[in-house]
Amino acid sequence: MRLSDTVLLAAAPVQGNPVPYRAQMATTLGFHIILACLGIAFPSFVLLAEFVGLRRGNETAMRLARRWSQSMGVLIAVGAVTGTVLSFEMGLLWPGLMRTYGSVLGVPFGVEGLFFFLEAVFAGVYLWGWRRLPGWAHFWSGIPIAVSGIFGAMSVVAVNSWMNTPGGFTMKNGQITSFDFWQVYFPRAAIYEMPHMILAAYMVSGFLVAGIYAVGILRGRRDRYHYTGFALGFIPAAILTPFQVFVGDTAARAIASDQPVKFAAMEYVANTSRQVPEWLGGVYINGNIYAGIKIPYLDSLLVGFGPGTKVIGWNSVTPADRPPAVWLIHLAFDVMVGLGSLLLLHGLWALYTWWRARSWPGPQLFWWAGAVTGVAAVAAMEAGWVVTEVGRQPWVVYNLMTTTQAATTNGGIFASLTIVIILYAVLGAVTIWILLMLSRHWRHADSDETPVPYGLPPTSIAAEGPVGQVES
């Protein structure tokens, strides 16, 4: 009896502890979300460059569009397969969730699949049609990619919003008995989560593009090519930043009422009270907050525009229903808000200089900051996902199903987690290396050609001829 218990324990060493499963989901999602952002928004930047190139006959913008499109090919391919990993993991890691709620949350995923199709098909046309599709026809073949990117993102975020504010169905004895499409696709949280994520995708893509050219400018390549590249990424992203700050602020207030425990963790509110202070930074350990800056009344003011606003604390629910690691949620929230504010200031600096001098800011500091905007936007976006996902724990479907109930009963999670971490580290490193290699190649050869794999040089492909000598 005891022996068989031990065997069972070894086979399923993490029964009841969802942390390793969450770690694997977090690794794969945290990796894919960067590519997803680029998949949603980067095509729009490529199209913007192509539009400028076609409309104004701007050769530099056209060259940028062609080169970005080549990077886009790599990014979409890696994004497509890492996204598939997540589809599989929904079942392989969370069969409990899918068994009960698959028929509800699956429908927005189905809508997403529809847009994923359009994105992939038109990406095939756009990426590989540069040479033989006429200019504007080629431009228009890219529009469906940008549009379906937005609708696809809405559909996936719909699922996450539904997990945060579930609704649109009824249940009897653990069986779904009714289903309402619109309430499932647009749960309460969707109103703020959808724009928040889509704006984040555009900011991540735009600032990443801008960051690459800011590095070039810092290295002394102060030419038209680099300033155009910087502008095409930076200007749209900087314009969207204030809207993102507004949406984020609205979202935080809505979370205070939709998911009060998550909000309490974000703001270090232990007990439900009025005149709640705002904590900037700080680590919460056993009821004490270390190294934080306290601003009296500010949290109450932010939630209800008055210092007397009541804010619900996490002590309103039993310890088992509170999220773990409130310090992580709070610090992630502060990182997101802080980086977002810095990005806003950076954009305002450019705006001010443009207003006064009709030029880019001169100081090196602006370009140093510009070089890291992309990384900052990625970090802010990842921190935001930490807030919303860790903040929802221990629930996978808020107040309805715990993550433990959702997790698979299979063992072997540490093996798959290890493999995933190694594989994704290699995948990420190779992707970045290839993008850097493309950029080096463009810079040195100043040519858009790369040889086809194992291929013949372009001219001799159709011709019959001795293979192997053609390269000499």
Partner 1 sequence: MADAVGAILLASVTLYAVLAGADFGGGLWDLLAGTTAQGRRPRHLIDESITPVWEGNHVWLVFDLVIFWTAFPHAFAAVMITLALPLWLALGGIVLRGAGFAFRKEVEQLSHQRLAGATFALSSLMTPFFMGTVVGAIASGAVPAVATTASLAAWTSPTALLAGFLFVAAGGFLAAVYLIAEARRRGDLKMESYFTLRGQAAAVVTGALSLATLFELQNSDKFFFDRLTGRALPLVVIAGVCGLAVLALLTIRRPIGTRVLAALAVAAVIWGWGVAQYPVILPGTGITLTNAGATEATLVAVVAVSIAAAVLVVPSFILLFVLQGRLMLGGGEHGAPPPDGPRPYYPYTGTPPPTHPGPPSPPTRPGQPSNQHPTSAVRAAVLGVALLTALARRLRTR
Nearer to partner 1, 117 or 246 (CB): 117
Under rule CB under 8 A, residue 95 binds partner 1: yes
- Number of neighbouring beta carbons within 10 Å of residue 314: 21
Nearer to partner 1, 176 or 231 (CB): 176
- Number of neighbouring beta carbons within 10 Å of residue 325: 15
Residue from the set 84, 257, 341, 399 that interacts with partner 1 by CB under 8 A = 84
Site string for partner 1, 159-198 (x = CB under 8 A): ----------------xxxxxxx-----------------
How many chain residues interact with partner 1 (CB under 8 A)?
94
Under rule CB under 8 A, residue 455 binds partner 1: yes
Residue from the set 253, 307, 427, 439 that interacts with partner 1 by CB under 8 A = 427
Q: Are 369 and 343 in contact (CB under 8 A)?
A: no
Nearer to partner 1, 305 or 454 (CB): 454
Q: Are 41 and 152 in contact (CB under 8 A)?
A: no
Footprint of partner 1 on residues 136-155 (CB under 8 A)? 144
Footprint of partner 1 on residues 335-354 (CB under 8 A)? none
Per CB under 8 A, the segment of 206-214, 265-273, 355-363, 429-437 that binds partner 1 is 429-437
Residue type (1 letter), 307: P
- CA-to-CA separations, 48 to 11, 58, 156, 176, 440, in angstroms, rounded: 54, 12, 25, 45, 23
Where helices occur in 259-305 by DSSP H, the ranges are 260-267, 298-304
Per CB under 8 A, the segment of 94-102, 191-199, 210-218, 226-234 that binds partner 1 is 94-102
Q: Rounded distance, CA 164 to CA 185, Å? A: 13
Q: Rounded distance, CA 48 to CA 55, Å? A: 10
Nearer to partner 1, 91 or 324 (CB): 91
Under rule CB under 8 A, residue 418 binds partner 1: no
Under rule CB under 8 A, residue 387 binds partner 1: no
Per CB under 8 A, the segment of 124-132, 217-225, 243-251, 326-334 that binds partner 1 is 124-132
Q: What b/e sequence results for 189-218 when a residue is b if at least 16 CB atoms lie within 10 Å of its CB, and e otherwise? A: bbbbbbbbbbbbbbbbbbbbbbbbbbbbbe
Query: Which residue matches tokens 């062609």?
Result: 66
